[in-house]
């Protein structure tokens, strides 16, 4: 049982149904077992999967496709139009997977036509109160966003990333797998997998060894990642020369290969160093 499954099973109310004060658009499609609380609003072209709980005063606008067993807590605003001056009412989407916990006052906006048209959230994510996910962002699986963490537009967050409270991420940044962003960090460049960043602007302070051990990553892989980290961040090399030194080791660890592939990508923001 995942963390979110335990939360959802504990929170799920008995019975199913739509509260008489809720407003559900005729074109909305609600699967069996969807619970819609008092004064919630479900707009046009919203699809909600089985067993999802929509709490009181939640607003979900479409076009949006939402999976099964999610829990939207009170006052969250989901699928609203993007906060982008270029947006002129084009048809864009929001997609949310399964078993996500969306806490109070979270805001998630649809995509923009110029940004690909879709904002997406994967499975088993925990978005704490006041989190903001802007247009055209793509969030993977099993991430944690602490209170007031915010993504500007076009941000990509990979699986198991952990964002502390009041973290801000600049548009077009990428956050790698199992990266840890300390509370209050202002991230203006890409964050490689498995590292910890902190500060304003954010700087790298080491590997996320706690997260790696919790993920049962082998001691050998952690050793190789430490070696690669020192090559990139401690030896004063150019990124190209650092990549050349790490490449012979990449075949020995899937985590190291993931780290190497990330820093080799061409990108507009550059990586946090």
Residue 81 sits in a domain whose CATH number is 2.160.10.10
Q: Which of 117, 132, 154 is the last residue of a domain?
A: 154
pLDDT score of 10 more than 80: no
Same domain, residue pair 20 and 89: yes
Active site residue 132: no
**Is residue 26 in a domain?**
yes
State the catalytic residue, choosing from 55, 57, 124, 136.
Answer: 136
Same domain (yes/no): 42, 116: yes
Catalytic residue among 37, 49, 62, 153: 153
Q: Are residues 107 and 217 in the same domain?
A: no
Whether residue 42 is contained in a domain is answered as yes
Please state at what angle helix 239-246 crosses helix 254-264, rounded to 10 degrees: 160
Report if residue 238 sits inside a domain: yes
170 is catalytic: no
The whole-number pLDDT of residue 147 equals 98
- Give the total number of structural domains in the chain: 2
pLDDT of residue 267: 78
pTM above 0.85, yes or no: yes
Assigned domain for 272 exists: no
Per-residue pLDDT reduced to its tens digit, 195-245: 999 999 999 999 999 999 999 999 999 999 999 999 999 999 999 999 999
Measuring CA to CA, how many Å separate 185 from each of 80, 134, 181, 191, 227?
A: 27, 18, 7, 12, 25
Phi and psi torsions of 126, nearest 5°: -115, 115
Domain check: are 149 and 236 in the same one?
A: no
Q: Which of these is catalytic: 57, 135, 154, 170? A: 135
Number of Cα atoms under 13 Å in the Cβ half of residue 235: 16
Per-residue confidence band for 268, with pLDDT thresholds at 50, 70 and 90: confident
Instruction: Kindly state the percentage of the chain with pLDDT values over 90.
Output: 90
| 144 and 252 assigned to the same domain | no
Report how far residue 96's alpha carbon sits from residue 70's, in angstroms, rounded to the nearest whole number. 9
Confidence of residue 6 (pLDDT cuts 50, 70, 90): low
State residue 1's pLDDT score. Answer: 57
CATH number of the domain encompassing residue 243 = 1.20.1180.10
Q: Grade residue 115 by pLDDT with cuts at 50, 70 and 90.
A: very high
Residue that terminates a domain, selected from 154, 187, 202: 154
- Residue 136 annotated as catalytic: yes
Other Cβ atoms closer than 10 A to 216: 6
> Are residues 119 and 218 both part of a single domain?
no
Specify whether 30 is located in the same domain as 137: yes
20 domain residue, yes or no: yes
Domain end residue (candidates: 107, 135, 154): 154
Note whether 110 and 20 are same-domain residues: yes
Domain of 127 in residue numbering reads as 3-154
**Rounded to the nearest 10 degrees, how much is the dihedral formed by the CA atoms of 73, 6, 121, 94?**
-50
Q: Is residue 183 part of a domain?
A: no
226 and 129 both lie in a single domain: no
Percentage of the chain lying above the pLDDT 70 cut: 94
Residues 132 and 17 in one domain: yes
Mean pLDDT, range 137-156, rounded to an integer = 98
The torsion region of residue 262 among left (phi > 0), alpha (psi -120 to 50) and beta comes to alpha
| 66 and 149 part of one domain | yes
Torsion of CA 40, 8, 100, 91, to 10 degrees: -30
**How far are the Cα atoms of 28, 41, 84, 167, 265 from residue 23, in angstroms, in the given order?**
10, 5, 27, 34, 46
pLDDT in tens, 37-89: 999 999 999 999 999 999 999 999 999 999 999 999 999 999 999 999 999 99
How far apart CA 131 and CA 152 sit, in angstroms, is: 11
Q: How many Cβ atoms sit within 10 Å of the Cβ of residue 93? A: 17
Secondary structure in 3-state letters for the chain: CCHHHHHHHHHCCCCCEECCCCEECCCCEECCCCEECCCCEECCCEEECCCCEECCCCEECCCEEECCCCEECCCCEEEECCCCCCCCCCCCEEEECCCCEECCCCEEECCCHHHCCEEEECCCCEECCCCEECCCCEECCCCEECCCCEECCCCEECCCCEECCCCEECCCCEECCCCEECCCCEECCEECCCEEEEECCEEEEEECHHHHHHCCCCHHHHHHHHHHHHHHHCCCCCHHHHHHHHHHHHHHCHHHHHHHHHHHCCCCCCECC
- Whether 21 and 92 share a structural domain: yes
The answer to whether residue 110 is domain-embedded is yes
Note whether residue 168 is domain-resident. no
Q: Does the pLDDT at position 145 exceed 70? A: yes
What is the per-residue pLDDT for 15?
43
CA dist., res. 25 & res. 252, Å (int): 54
């Amino acid at each position: 049982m995942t963390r979110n499954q335990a939360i959802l099973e504990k929170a799920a109310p008995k019975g199913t149904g739509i509260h008489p004060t809720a407003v559900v658009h005729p074109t909305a499609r609600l699967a069996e077992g969807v619970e819609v609380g008092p004064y919630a609003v479900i707009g046009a072209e919203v699809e909600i999967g089985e067993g999802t709980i929509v709490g009181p005063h939640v607003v979900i606008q479409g076009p949006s496709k939402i999976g099964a067993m999610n829990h939207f807590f009170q006052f969250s605003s989901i699928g609203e139009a993007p906060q982008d001056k270029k947006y002129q009412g084009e048809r864009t989407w929001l997609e949310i997977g399964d078993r996500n916990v969306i806490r109070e006052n979270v805001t998630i906006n649809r995509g923009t036509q110029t940004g690909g048209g879709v904002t997406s959230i994967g499975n088993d994510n925990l978005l704490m109160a006041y989190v903001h996910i802007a247009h055209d962002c793509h969030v993977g699986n099993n991430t944690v966003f602490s209170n007031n963490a915010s993504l500007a537009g076009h941000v990509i967050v990979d699986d198991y990333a952990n964002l502390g409270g009041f973290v801000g991420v600049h548009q077009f940044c990428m956050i790698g797998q199992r990266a840890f962003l300390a509370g209050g960090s202002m991230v203006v460049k890409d964050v490689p997998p498995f590292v910890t960043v902190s500060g304003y602007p954010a700087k790298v302070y080491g590997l996320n060894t706690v997260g790696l051990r919790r993920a049962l990553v082998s001691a050998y892989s952690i050793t190789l990642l430490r070696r690669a980290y020192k090559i990139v961040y401690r030896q004063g090399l150019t990124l190209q020369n650092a990549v050349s030194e790490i490449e012979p080791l990449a075949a020995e660890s899937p985590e190291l290969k993931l780290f190497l592939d990330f820093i080799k990508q061409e990108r507009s923001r550059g990586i946090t160093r």
